[in-house]
Amino acid sequence: MLDDAAAGPASELPALPDRRFRVRLLAAGLVLVVTSAALAVWVDRQTVREASAAAPVMRPVRRFVFQPPDNAPLLNSIMFALSPDGTRLVYAARVAAGSQLRVRRLDQLEVEPLAGSEGAIVPFFSPDGQSIGFNSEGRIRRLPATGGAPVTIAESPSFIGGSWGPDGTILFSRIGSPVLRVPADGGTPVPVADLSEAAGEVDHHTASYLPGGTAFLFGIHAAREVFRVAARSLVTGEQRILVKDGFRPRYAASGHLVFARGNTLLATTFDLERLAITGPEVALIENLDTVLDSGLAAFSISEDGTLAYVPAPSRAGRTLVWVDRTGRVEPAAIPPQAYFFPSLSPDGRRLAVQVADGRRSDIWIHRFADGAATRLAVEGLNSRPSWTRDGQHVTFSIRRGEDRFLIRHALATFPVEAGRS
């Protein structure tokens, strides 16, 4: 598994300035799960449940950890892709000049730079694996998988990701837009779906072609951390919601729809003809690295069943510190926890902070004078606390299933549980 010590400092994601894409950047390794057939682990679990008398035939599963070299660490946990045949992995590396694509053949140890990919992010392969698409300087570009002169395909600022279809067109997503399509040889992008204002759709994410290229999967972004998995036919225009609480869908050649929810990667059987789910959901990975408010997940699946993913980094043991205007750092007298989004009260005497604990996420109020702490006991996943100007109220968001709420309440009347966080 990924060692927390391997993670580097956080920084901003280049070329994606929108606030929804301020995601974690990890100088980290990838965990590659190599199977002898697509989703063998899932198939074996099904076999165990369905075969009451006969012992199941367990398929061999091979796993290994790929740690990118120190001079070319992974730029971001979502910026990698497996080739369709599962023999190569391409990732955006952080280098002195910014970023560049690196390629690792899975039967070799060396990582090779891809000439012509300077400044590249968000790579994806062509169906034959002979070309690689990516985004650079707000443009979609492609180049040979062995390196060479890049060709600009289209302008696309705030690019989220692409999928190269068998008909020579590319589906892609960007902030504030429906799914778009453009010829891989270049041209003007055209929308292939519409944003529904009535359904509160903000944009469409992570589109990917289904086999045959006549339909595709994509994520519907309806609100902060609210995503749905959908399928749409390019022939009839028919669109179906497949999962009401999930994101980053991909189809596996074993006949499964794979998608993320929270930090879990799930799979379910999927009928390509009817564009319909036909089985129960089964968890594949419990600790997948995801970006919940952007609907992104750090995994890639090849046609031969190879699965590569980045596990969620451990956040336990984080400490809070004071930093003065000269840059001097002093630890705060608060026990280490999985802290997020600290917010200092206007008078500087109290701290509101999000604390994660397993599947819980709560808001705690710390008082610096005596070290006392109280938890705001509200059902749901609580996040992003912020003080009002008078220091008498704290606002924060609550997630309960698909529902989201914004809470603003006076601390004096808000139900709290005393204790230590």
Q: What is the pLDDT of residue 244?
A: 92
Q: What is the pLDDT of residue 264?
A: 93
**pLDDT tens column, 55-112:** 444 455 567 778 888 889 888 888 999 999 989 999 999 998 889 999 999 888 889 9
pTM of the model: 0.71
Asked whether the beta carbons of 166 and 209 are under 8 A apart, the reply is: yes
Alpha-carbon separation of residue 312 from 63, 117, 140, 218, 288 (angstroms): 17, 27, 29, 23, 5
* Cα angle: 315, vertex 372, 337; to 5 degrees: 5
Extract the tokens encoding 211. 């086999």
What CA–CA distance (Å, rounded) separates 298 from 30? Answer: 9
> In 126-209, where do the E strands start and end?
131-136, 139-144, 151-155, 159-164, 169-174, 180-183, 190-191, 203-209
Asked whether the beta carbons of 364 and 356 are under 8 A apart, the reply is: no
At residue 202, φ and ψ (nearest 5 deg) are: -90, -50
Q: What is the pLDDT of residue 186?
A: 96
- What is the H or E stretch that residue 50 is in? helix 40-50
Residues of the chain scoring pLDDT < 70? 1-62, 224-225, 314-317, 358-359, 401-403, 412-421
What is the amino acid identity at position 76?
N
Q: What is the pLDDT of residue 374?
A: 87
**pLDDT tens column, 190-208:** 999 988 888 888 889 899 9
Of the candidates 216, 159, 205, which has an alpha carbon nearest to the alpha carbon of residue 178? 205
Which residue segments constitute the domains of the chain, with CATH numbers given? 4-309 (2.120.10.30), 321-419 (2.120.10.30)
Buried b (16+ CB within 10 A) or exposed e, 25-42: bbbbbbbbbbbeebbbbb
Q: What is the pLDDT of residue 199?
A: 80
Here the contacts of 131-139 (C-beta below 8 Å, separation 24 or greater) are 131/164, 131/184, 132/90, 132/101, 133/162, 133/164, 133/170, 133/184, 134/92, 134/101, 135/15, 135/159, 135/162, 136/15, 137/15, 138/15
SS3 at position 195:
coil
Cα dihedral: 38, 44, 45, 49 (round 10): 140
What CA–CA distance (Å, rounded) separates 233 from 273? Answer: 10
